[in-house]
Amino acid sequence: MRDVITGNEAVAWGAARARAQVVPAYPITPQTTIIEGIADLIKKGELKAEYIPVESEHSAMAACIGAAYAGARAFTATSSQGLLLMHELLHWAALARVPIVMAEVNRAVAPGWTIWTDQNDSLAQRDTGWIQLYCQDAQEVFDTTVQAFRIAEEVDLPVMIVLDAFVLSHTAEPVDVPDAADVDRFLPPRKPKFVLDVDNPCAFGGLNGPDVYQEFRFNQQASMTAALEAARRSDNDWAKMFGRRYGLIEEYRTEGADTILVASATPASTAQDVVDKLRAKGKKVGLVRVRLFRPFPAVELRKALAGAKRVAVLDRNISPGHHGIFCEELKSALYGMPKAPEVRGFIGGLGGRDLTPDSIEEVFDRAMGPKKEEEIAWIGHKA
Amino acid sequence: MDRPQGVKYVPAIAEPTQAKFERVPKEEILGHGHLACPGCGAALSMRLALKALGRRVMIAGPACCWAVCDGPWPYSATGVPFLHCAFETAASTACGIRAGLAARGIDDITVMTWAGDGGTFDIGLQALSGAAERNDDFLYVCYDNEAYMNTGVQRSSATPELAWTTTTPPGAMPKLQPKKNMGEIVCAHRAPYFATATVAYPEDLIAKFERAGRTRGFRMIHILSPCPPGWKSEERLGISLARRAVESRVFPLYEVEGGTKWRLTQDPPKRPVAEYLKDQGRFAHLTAAQVRQIQGHVDAEWDVLKGRLETGDRR
Ligand SMILES: Cc1ncc(C[n+]2csc(CCOP(=O)(O)OP(=O)(O)O)c2C)c(N)n1
Ligand code: SF4
Ligand SMILES: [Mg+2]
pLDDT in tens, A162-207: 999 999 999 999 999 999 999 999 999 999 999 999 999 999 999 9
pLDDT tier at A15, thresholds 50, 70, 90: very high
pLDDT tier at A362, thresholds 50, 70, 90: very high
Flag whether pLDDT at A329 surpasses 90: yes
Cβ pair B222, B254 in contact under 8 A: no
State residue B20's pLDDT score. 67
Q: Does B224 sit in the ligand 2 pocket, CB within 6 Å?
A: no
pLDDT in tens, B141-166: 999 999 999 999 999 999 999 999 99
Instruction: Please list every residue in chain B whose beta carbon sits closer than 8 Å to the beta carbon of residue A69.
Output: 83, 96-97, 100
Q: Do A62 and B96 touch (CB under 8 A)?
A: yes
Cβ pair B164, B232 in contact under 8 A: yes
Domain-terminating residue out of A199, A226, A242? A242
B153 CA closest ligand 2 atom index: 1
Flag whether pLDDT at B87 surpasses 90: yes
Distance B227 CA to ligand 2 centre (A): 5
Q: Do B126 and A56 touch (CB under 8 A)?
A: yes
Distance B224 CA to ligand 1 centre (A): 17
Distance to chain B for A206, nearest Cα, Å: 5
Does A171 share its domain with A59?
Answer: yes
Mean local confidence (pLDDT), A284-299: 98
Does A230 share its domain with A114?
Answer: yes
Distance between CA A270 and CA A171 in Å, rounded?
Answer: 14
Q: Do A203 and B73 touch (CB under 8 A)?
A: yes
Q: Does A210 touch chain B (CB under 8 A)?
A: no
Q: Do B100 and A202 touch (CB under 8 A)?
A: no
Distance to chain B for A212, nearest Cα, Å: 8
Cβ-proximal residues to B226 (8 Å cutoff; 6+ apart), any chain = B39, B40, B41, B145, B199, B233, B237, B238, B239, B241, B242
- Residue from B34, B44, B46, B87 whose mutation best tests the ligand 1 pocket (most atoms within 8 A of CB): B87
Determine which of A110-119, A229-238, B17-26, B294-303 has the lowest per-residue pLDDT on average: B17-26
State residue B315's pLDDT score. 39
State residue B6's pLDDT score. 34
Does A33 share its domain with A165?
Answer: yes
Report the CATH number at residue A50: 3.40.50.970
Q: Do B79 and A204 touch (CB under 8 A)?
A: no
pLDDT in tens, A71-99: 999 999 999 999 999 999 999 999 999 99
The residue whose CA has the least distance to atom 6 of ligand 2 is B37
pLDDT tier at A25, thresholds 50, 70, 90: very high
Q: Do B96 and A201 touch (CB under 8 A)?
A: no
| Side chain identity at residue A231, one-letter code | A
State residue B21's pLDDT score. 67
Domain-terminating residue out of A242, A266, A293? A242
Report the CATH number at residue A253: 3.40.50.920
Kindly state whether residue A274 falls inside one of the protein's structural domains: yes
Phi, psi of A108 (to 5 degrees): -60, 160
Does A212 share its domain with A322?
Answer: no
Identify the H or E element spanning B282.
none
Domain count, chain A: 2
Does A41 share its domain with A163?
Answer: yes
Cα R_g (chain B), whole angstroms: 18
pLDDT in tens, A33-50: 999 999 999 999 999 999
Distance between CA A254 and CA A252 in Å, rounded?
Answer: 6
Kindly state whether residue A258 falls inside one of the protein's structural domains: yes
State residue A376's pLDDT score. 82
State residue B217's pLDDT score. 97
Cα R_g (chain A), whole angstroms: 21
Does A141 share its domain with A25?
Answer: yes
Distance to chain B for A152, nearest Cα, Å: 17
What single string gives the DSSP state of each residue in B78-102?
SSS-EEE--TT-HHHHHHHHHHHHH
pLDDT in tens, B162-220: 999 999 999 999 999 999 999 999 999 999 999 999 999 999 999 999 999 999 999 99
State residue A90's pLDDT score. 98
Q: What ligand is nearest to the CA atom of residue B230?
A: 2
Domain-terminating residue out of A242, A263, A280? A242
Residue A257 belongs to domain spanning: 249-378
Distance A347 CA to ligand 3 centre (A): 49
Q: Do B78 and A201 touch (CB under 8 A)?
A: yes
B225 CA closest ligand 1 atom index: 21
Helical axes B90-103 vs B125-134, angle rounded to 10°: 40
Instruction: Please list every residue in chain A whose beta carbon sits closer than 8 Å to the beta carbon of residue B81.
Output: 196-198, 201-203
Does A308 share its domain with A159?
Answer: no
Does A206 share its domain with A255?
Answer: no
Distance between CA B90 and CA B62 in Å, rounded?
Answer: 5
Kindly state whether residue A361 falls inside one of the protein's structural domains: yes
Question: What sign has the CA pseudo-torsion A247, A252, A256, A260?
Answer: negative
What does pLDDT average to over chain A?
97
Kindly state whether residue A21 falls inside one of the protein's structural domains: yes
Could you tell me whether strands B254-257 and B193-198 are parallel, antiparallel, or unpaired per DSSP bridges?
Answer: antiparallel
Predicted-assembly ipTM surpassing the 0.85 threshold? yes
State residue B10's pLDDT score. 33
Does A223 share its domain with A291?
Answer: no
Distance between CA B290 and CA A353 in Å, rounded?
Answer: 63
Q: Does B156 sit in the ligand 1 pocket, CB within 6 Å?
A: yes
Does A331 share its domain with A192?
Answer: no
B36 CA closest ligand 2 atom index: 5
Mean local confidence (pLDDT), A362-374: 85
Distance between CA B71 and CA B134 in Å, rounded?
Answer: 33
Instruction: Please list every residue in chain A whose beta carbon sits closer than 8 Å to the beta carbon of residue B92.
Output: 24, 54, 58-60, 62-63, 66
Distance to chain B for A313, nearest Cα, Å: 38
B115 CA closest ligand 1 atom index: 15
Q: Do A54 and B92 touch (CB under 8 A)?
A: yes
Closest Cα to residue A267, out of A162, A368, A354?
Answer: A354
Flag whether pLDDT at B1 surpasses 60: no
Domains detected in chain B: 14-311 (3.40.50.970)
Does A237 share its domain with A316?
Answer: no
Proportion of chain B above pLDDT 70, given as a percent: 91
pLDDT in tens, B250-297: 999 999 999 999 999 999 999 999 999 999 999 999 999 999 999 999
Kindly state whether residue A383 falls inside one of the protein's structural domains: no
Distance A165 CA to ligand 2 centre (A): 49
Does A254 share its domain with A237?
Answer: no
Kindly state whether residue A282 falls inside one of the protein's structural domains: yes
Distance to chain A for B1, nearest Cα, Å: 45
B116 CA closest ligand 2 atom index: 3
